[in-house]
Structure 1
Amino acid sequence: MSYPFVLNLIPTTYAANDDTPSSAPTILDPRKEKVLALHTTGMSRRKIIEATGETEHYVRQAIKGVRVVEKLPISPFERAVAQCYPIAIRRTGIKDYQLRAIMNECYGVEWDTEKGKYKARYTVDQLKRVRERIRERATAEGHSAIFVMDWINTIEPVESNAVITQCILNLQNAIQEALDEFMQASGVHHVEEGVDLALARKKQEFAARRYILNLAVKGFSKEPVARLQERALDQVNQLAGTPDAPGVSTPAIKLRHPEPKGSDAFLDYCEGQGWLQPDHYPEVEQAISAAGY
Structure 2
Amino acid sequence: MSNTHQEQQAVALRQEGMSYANIMKVTGLPERKVKALTKGIVKVSPINTPLAKAVERVYTLAKRPHGIRDYELRDIMHEEYGSKWDTENGKYISSYSQNDVKYVREKVRIRAAQDDCIILFTPDWIDELAPTAGRKFLEAAANDLMTRFHAYKHQYMELHATRWKEDNEGADLAQRKQMYAVEQHLFKLAVKGFGNEPLERLLERSLVLTDLMEGTPDAVMVSVKGGNSSGEALEYYPEPRGTNPFLDFVESQGWLKEVEDRFV
Report the counterpart of residue 236 of structure 1 in structure 2: 210
> How much has 1:247 moved relative to structure 2?
3.0
Q: What amino acid maps onto 2:112 in structure 1? A: A
Q: Is the aligned partner of 1:164 residue 2:138?
A: yes
Higher relative contact order (CA 8 A, sep 6+): 2
> How much has 1:244 moved relative to structure 2?
3.1
Structure 2 Cα separation of the partners of residues 255 and 194 of structure 1: 53
> How much has 1:150 moved relative to structure 2?
0.4
Report the counterpart of residue 63 of structure 2 in structure 1: 89
> How much has 1:109 moved relative to structure 2?
1.3
Q: Residues 128-179 of structure 1: CA distance to partner in whole angstroms, max 9, x if unpaired?
A: 0000010011011111221000001122110110111111112112211221
Report the counterpart of residue 142 of structure 1 in structure 2: 116
User: Any residues of structure 2 matched to 1:243-262 within 5 Å, and which?
Assistant: 243-250=217-224, 255-262=235-242
User: Any residues of structure 2 matched to 1:1-293 within 5 Å, and which?
Assistant: 73-190=47-164, 196-250=170-224, 255-262=235-242
Structure 1 Cα separation of the partners of residues 78 and 117 of structure 2: 26
After superposing the two structures, state which structure 1 stretch, 196-205 or 108-117, moved more: 108-117
Q: Please give the secondary structure, in 2, of the residue aligned with 1:111.
A: strand
Give the direction of change, closer, same or farther, for the CA distance of 1:194–1:170 in structure 2 (3 Å limit).
closer
Q: What amino acid maps onto 2:130 in structure 1? A: E
> How much has 1:183 moved relative to structure 2?
1.0
Q: Is the 8 A contact 1:107 1:120 kept in 2?
A: yes
Q: What amino acid maps onto 2:204 in structure 1? A: E
Q: Is the 8 A contact 1:213 1:220 kept in 2?
A: yes
Q: What amino acid maps onto 2:131 in structure 1? A: P
CA RMSD of aligned residues (A): 3.1
> How much has 1:261 moved relative to structure 2?
4.7
Q: Please give the secondary structure, in 2, of the residue aligned with 1:73.
A: helix
Structure 1 Cα separation of the partners of residues 219 and 196 of structure 2: 27
Q: Residues 48-85 of structure 1: CA distance to partner in whole angstroms, max 9, x if unpaired?
A: xx99xxxxxxxxxxxxxxxxxxx760110001001111
Give the direction of change, closer, same or farther, for the CA distance of 1:218–1:259 in structure 2 (3 Å limit).
farther
The percentage of aligned residue pairs carrying the same residue is: 35
Q: Is the 8 A contact 1:93 1:147 kept in 2?
A: yes
Q: Is the 8 A contact 1:233 1:247 kept in 2?
A: no
Q: Which runs of 5 or more structure 1 residues have no equivalent in the other structure?
A: 1-42, 52-70, 270-293
Give the direction of change, closer, same or farther, for the CA distance of 1:115–1:161 in structure 2 (3 Å limit).
farther
Give the direction of change, closer, same or farther, for the CA distance of 1:181–1:256 in structure 2 (3 Å limit).
farther
Give the direction of change, closer, same or farther, for the CA distance of 1:191–1:228 in structure 2 (3 Å limit).
farther
Q: Which runs of 5 or more structure 2 residues have no equivalent in the other structure?
A: 1-17, 27-44, 229-233, 253-264
For normalisation by structure 1, the TM-score amounts to 0.60
Report the counterpart of residue 9 of structure 1 in structure 2: none
Higher helix share: 2
Aligned length: 200
